[in-house]
Amino acid sequence: MAKRVVITGMGVVSPNGVGIPAFLNSLQQGTSGIKFMPHYRELNFSCQVAGMPAFEWSILKDYISEVVLHGLKGTNIGYGLVAALDAWADAGLERETVEPRWDTGCIFGNSVADTEAMKNVITRVDNKEVKKLGSRVVEQAMNSSVTSYISGRLGLANKVMTNSAACATGTQAILMGYEYIKHGYAPRMLVGSAEHVDTYVYGAFDSMRVLSRKFNDEPERASRPMSATAGGFVPGSGAGAMILEDLDVALERGAHIYAEILGGATNSGGQRLGGTMTAANSVGVVRCVTEAIERSGVHTNDIDLISGHLTATNADRQEIQNWVQALGRRGDNFPLINSVKSMIGHSLSAAGSIEAVASVLQIVHGFVHPNINFEDPNPAITDLVSLNNIPTEMIKKEVNIVAKANFGFGDVNSCLILSKYTQ
Amino acid sequence: MTRQEILDELKIVISPYTTHKDKLAEMNDDTDLLKDLQINSANLVDIIIDAEAKYDIEIDYDSADKMMNVGTCIDVISEKLNEKA
pLDDT in the model for residue A1: 76
Strands A336-338 and A34-36: unpaired
Distance CA A63, CA A55 (A): 14
Chain centroid to CA A392: 22
Per-residue confidence (pLDDT) for residue A347, from 0 to 100? 97
Taking the CA atoms of chain A, what radius of gyration do you get in angstroms? 20
Residue A96 burial (CB < 10 Å; 0-12/13-18/19+)?
A: exposed
Residue in chain A lying closest to B61 (CA): A131
Q: Do B46 and A66 touch (CB under 8 A)?
A: no
Task: Identify residues of B whose CB sits under 8 angstroms from chain A CBs.
Answer: 16-19, 40, 42-46, 49
A128 touches chain B (CB under 8 A): no
Distance from CA of B68 to the nearest CA of A (A): 17
- Could you tell me where the beta strands, DSSP code E, fall in A269-346? 305-307, 336-338
At residue A423, the pLDDT reads 87
| HSE-up of residue A163 (Cα within 13 Å, Cβ side) | 27
Q: Are strands A188-195 and A104-109 parallel, antiparallel or unpaired?
A: parallel
Burial pattern A324-355, b for ≥16 Cβ within 10 A else e, equals bbbbebbeeebbbbbbbbbbbbbbbbbbbbbb
The one-letter amino acid at A180: Y
Question: Among partner residues A67, A70, A135, which is closest to B45 by beta-carbon distance?
Answer: A135
Which of A61, A64, A65, A67 would best serve as a mutation to test chain B binding (most B beta carbons within 10 A)?
A67
Beta-strand pair A5-14/A238-246: antiparallel
Q: Does A65 touch chain B (CB under 8 A)?
A: yes
Interface A-B, measured as beta-carbon pairs within 8 A, has a size of 25
pLDDT value, residue A170: 98
Q: What is the pLDDT of residue A198?
A: 86
Q: Where are the beta strands (DSSP E) in A269-423?
A: 305-307, 336-338, 367-368, 395-396, 401-408, 412-419
Q: Is the ipTM of this complex over 0.85?
A: yes
State residue A312 phi and psi, 5-degree precision. Answer: 85, 45
pLDDT of residue A164: 97
Residue A113's pLDDT is 87
Residues of chain A predicted below pLDDT 50? none
Whole-number percent of chain B with pLDDT over 90? 94
Q: Are A237 and A114 contacting, i.e. CB atoms less than 8 angstroms apart?
A: no
User: Residues 6 or more apart from A416 whose CB is under 8 A from it?
Assistant: A171, A174, A175, A178, A261, A263, A264, A292, A356, A359, A403, A404, A405
> Chain A contacts of B14, Cβ < 8 Å?
none
Minimum Cα–Cα distance from B48: chain A residue: A134
Distance CA A234, CA A219 (A): 9
C-alpha closest to that of A14 among A365, A355, A393: A355
CB contact (8 A) between residue A67 and residue B16: yes
Burial of B16 (0-12, 13-18, 19+ CB in 10 A): middle
* Alpha-carbon gap: A118 to the closest alpha carbon of chain B (Å): 18
Neighboring chain B residues of A96 at a CB cutoff of 8 Å: none
What is the C-alpha to C-alpha distance for residues A111 and A113, in angstroms, rounded to an integer? 7
In this complex, do B18 and A67 lie within 8 Å of one another by their Cβ atoms? Answer: yes
How far, in Å, CA of A125 to CA of B48, rounded?
A: 18
Output Rg (C-alpha) for chain B, integer angstroms. Answer: 12
Sort strands A238-246 and A17-18 into parallel, antiparallel or unpaired.
unpaired
A67 touches chain B (CB under 8 A): yes
Single out the residue of A176, A177, A197, A173 nearest to residue A188, CA to CA: A177
CB of A131 within 8 Å of any CB in chain B?
Answer: yes
Residue pair A321/A203 in contact (Cβ under 8 Å)? The answer is: no
> Sign of torsion, CA A152 A157 A161 A162?
negative
- Chain B residues with CB under 8 Å of A136 CB are 46
Q: How far apart are CA A351 and CA A406, in angstroms?
A: 8
Cα–Cα distance between A46 and A419 in angstroms, integer?
40
User: What SS3 state is found at A404?
Assistant: strand
- From chain A, pick out residues whose CB is under 8 angstroms from the CB of B43: 67, 135
End-to-end CA distance of chain B: 11
Residue of B18, B19, B49 with shortest CB distance to A134: B49
Q: Residues A37, A50: contact at Cβ < 8 Å?
A: yes
Contact across the interface for B16 and A134, Cβ inside 8 Å: no
Strand pairing class (A401-408; A336-338) = unpaired
pLDDT in tens, A265-299: 999 999 999 999 999 999 999 999 999 999 999 99
Cβ separation B16–A70 shorter than 8 A: yes
Q: What is the pLDDT of residue B54?
A: 92
- The residue of chain B with its CA nearest to that of A131 is B49
Name the E strands within A27-184: 34-36, 49-51, 104-109, 160-163
How many CB atoms are located within 10 Å of the residue A376 CB? 12
How many Cα atoms occupy the beta-carbon half-sphere of A150 within 13 Å?
40
Residues of chain A positioned with their CB less than 8 A from the CB of B42: 135
Interchain proximity A135–B18, CB inside 8 Å: no
CB atoms A67 and B42 under 8 Å: no
CB contact under 8 A, B45 and A71: no
Whether A341 and A222 have beta carbons less than 8 Å apart is answered as no
Closest Cα to residue B66, out of B85, B83, B56, B51?
B51
